[in-house]
Amino acid sequence: MSTLFDLSGRTALVTGSARGIGFALAQGLANAGAAVILNGTRADTVAEAVARMDAQGFAATGRAFDVTNEHAVADAFAQWDHDGVHIDILINNAGIQFRKPLVELELSDWQRVIDTNLTSAFIVSKEAAKRMIARGSGGKIVNIGSLTSEGARATVGAYTAAKGGIKMLTRAMSAEWAASNIQANAIGPGYILTDMNQALIENAAFDAWVKSSNPSQRWGKPEELVGTAVYLSSSASSYVNGQIIYVDGGWLAVL
């Protein structure tokens, strides 16, 4: 049973992993034995995160690049090719939130959210999958969705469209890549205690809504997503494809 979830000998790239959910997932995959590559847009925050991982005894490296820029992504993979680094597990976690009613939303803000939360998963997964297929080694792709992959909330329209797209892009990846032994799945976090949600956490009415809307009656913690991420990154999910697993305290299960 222990080998079923063992990630030893595998290399995992986690996008947007200098903090928050991404950093928690990076820690969890490293704890399961993976050699983890952290990513973010800023070299200083990536370096700080790598240092934190090192201090915990985890095998981690980092590479700062913009996951919305196909040339930057191609350059990153070319460097890994040169260094003999093979990405076996890709966690597409990079994401931003931008809260504004649709009628007030600038196209530039819409595009930035779509690019970061959805298009980046296409760009990075394309480079990773091309190599997994060429190596004949298969691989794991785990996309990070949201409750908004299923339902909408006012003022987060661009985010909702992107996360809905993540659910269907995950299925599209399965349709094309499952035959190459690549399992593409998604995790749909509920409301998690992260910096991105700080304004919501501090809003008494929103906090009460979150706690009354899920039967666990609380916010989730980033580390509570790790088990599902390790499962979907491991041999334990070798026949699971195109799924989105909601880690939401039961939110979507109840009326």
What are the catalytic residues? 159
**Is 161 a residue that touches ligand GCO (CB under 6 A)?**
no
Token readout for 126 is 């394309």
Across 46-134, where does the E strand assignment appear?
60-64, 89-92
**Is 146 a residue that touches ligand GCO (CB under 6 A)?**
yes
Token readout for 159 is 């985010």
Residues 137 and 88: beta-carbon distance below 8 Å: yes
Residue among 214 and 233 whose Cβ is closer to ligand GCO: 214
**Is 86 a residue that touches ligand GCO (CB under 6 A)?**
no
In sequence order, what are the residues at sequence separation of 6 or more whose Cβ sits closer than 8 angstroms to the Cβ of residue 173?
125, 129, 141, 182, 184, 242
Residues in a beta bridge with 123: none
Residues in a beta bridge with 37: 13, 61
The secondary element (H helix, E strand) that includes residue 143 is strand 139-144
Residue among 60 and 166 whose Cβ is closer to ligand GCO: 166
Q: How far is the CB of 96 from ligand GCO (least distance, A)?
A: 10
Q: How far is the CB of 229 from ligand GCO (least distance, A)?
A: 15
**Is 153 a residue that touches ligand GCO (CB under 6 A)?**
yes
Using CB under 6 A, which residues numbered 39 to 78 contact ligand GCO?
Answer: none
**Per-residue binding letters, 184-203, with ligand GCO (x by CB under 6 A):** -----xxx----xx--x---
Residue 122: exposure state from Cβ atoms within 10 A (0-12, 13-18, ≥19):
middle
With contacts defined by CB under 6 A, name the span among 4-12, 24-32, 142-150, 237-245 that binds ligand GCO. Answer: 142-150
**Is 100 a residue that touches ligand GCO (CB under 6 A)?**
no
Sites of contact with ligand GCO (CB under 6 A): 97, 99, 146-148, 153, 156, 159, 189-191, 196-197, 200
